[in-house]
Amino acid sequence: MPRPARIPRVSFRKLQRAGRVNVVKSSWNDGDVETNVSPGKKFEVSSTTPPATTSQAPLDRDPYDQDSSLAHGSSDSISTRLPSGVLTELISITAGPTGRQLLGLTLSKDNRKPRVTYQSMSLLESTSVLVGASTVTALLLATSLTMGLFSKNQMPVAGRNVIVTGASQGMGKAVALLLASQGANVAIVARDQKKLDAAGAEIQAVIDANGTKYLGQKLAVISADLSDPQQAQRALSDAESQLGDTEILWCCAGGANPGFFTNYEPADLQWSMNTNYWSAVYIAHAAVKAMSSRPPPPSKGAPQRKVIFTSSIAALCPIIGYSSYVGPKAALRALTDCLRQECLLYDIGVHCCCPGSIESPGLVTENLTKPDLTKKIEESDVVQKPEVVAKACLDELQNGQTLPVPSFLARAARAGMAGPTPRANAFVELIFSWIAAIVFIFVRWDQDSIVMKERKKGLPWQRTE
């Protein structure tokens, strides 16, 4: 015979304090009564553990009498009227496998005595609910974890010609190293020749370690200021002269100069626009013009050519202190949607990565001017290693994601802000968007409360130096 289900033991004192509750405390006790009941039949249940008296109020029965009936009713509803303060615990009432399982409970009071009512649900109904919820949860987790596991790699890199900008340090260098390890021919572009040479030596070591796994692998090291359109065009030409026609452009160049909007000079705003927007747009413009004028290099499967921008989670969830940074980063995210649609004409995929804080020399520089309020809001942020970010973004690109992200928080932000952007695994993203719509109400409230506490110190014109 199947073992009957058990119902949690509930503290009566907590019920009295709460006034009306759904669940208070759960524990299991082998001494609880087990009574087999058929639906619709009357029954009585007696306590096997005598409750202690905590009141001197007169009783209709002795609470220590184990033969006293403490509950009565039908299998659809069980209720008991008790003198106030008599019971410290209510007994658990368990129906057999063919009966009803008692789940919820409510507490109400009249002028004389409290009434405790157990609402019931059939074992079949409760099992269906639990199985259904468990199934949905399992499907979501399984779909999320196996996304792309059995699908075609949408961005193979072995043997392909890839340009990575901002590749002298941080995420850009990590991306170049990762692509080289997977057999790509890599051209790295940045301004600082010394850092470029050091990064190039690391990448060459990876290529050498590949041995004969990827024959004829190439590396190009190119110094250029990509915020200048002429130098951007030259960088593309130099890369193609050394590697061949460009198949993938991954723009990682960028940097933040945090501060308050009122404290910036026009030159600060222009610097951020050049560093984060024009340095990506000029070379992307040159690359798309070149790609769209010629067929892709012949290769097995003819994988789609790609342009990949690097924006930021700040473009999806902006916070105080990044006013010069979020503008160009949000512009890249919007440009991705626009250019993606145009590039359908040319069979070129356009994507935009949105990472958070990355452990790099750029972050060290960024923290030098970052306002204390920004640091306060970012206290719980997890700073990721560039290698982790590069791997997570590449994985999502190879799974077909338009806006790759490297963390759960960034994924929630993406789900809430994606709009018409195509989504890989749209069902899971839809669930995330529902969650994000609720969660970010509280996130924004928390962030705003930190700012408002600072305002209590006085408005600018009210402060005395």
Catalytic residue at 329? yes
Given a contact cutoff of 8 angstroms between Cβ atoms, the answer to whether 377 and 431 are in contact is no
Given a contact cutoff of 8 angstroms between Cβ atoms, the answer to whether 233 and 290 are in contact is no
In this structure, the number of other CB atoms found within 10 A of the CB of residue 14 comes to 13
Catalytic residue at 346? no
Please work out, in degrees rounded to the nearest 5, the angle formed at the alpha carbon of residue 209 by the alpha carbons of 203 and 214: 90
Local structure of 305: helix, strand or coil:
strand
Given a contact cutoff of 8 angstroms between Cβ atoms, the answer to whether 122 and 101 are in contact is yes
Q: Which of 214, 329, 453, 456 is catalytic?
A: 329
Bridge partner residues of 71 (DSSP): 45
Helix (H), strand (E) at residue 375: helix 372-377
42 burial class (0-12, 13-18, 19+ CB within 10 angstroms)?
Answer: exposed
Given a contact cutoff of 8 angstroms between Cβ atoms, the answer to whether 402 and 340 are in contact is yes
Bridge partner residues of 223 (DSSP): 190
Q: Which of 118, 282, 322, 325 is catalytic?
A: 325
Q: CA-CA distance, 114 to 117, in Å (whole number)?
A: 10
Bridge partner residues of 165 (DSSP): 189, 251
202 closest CA partner among 223, 230, 181 = 181
Given a contact cutoff of 8 angstroms between Cβ atoms, the answer to whether 399 and 150 are in contact is no
Q: CA-CA distance, 251 to 162, in Å (whole number)?
A: 11
Please work out, in degrees rounded to the nearest 5, the angle formed at the alpha carbon of residue 316 by the alpha carbons of 312 and 317: 105
| Residue burial 29-40, b: 16+ Cβ < 10 Å; e: rest | eeebbbbebeee
Q: Which residues are catalytic?
A: 325, 329
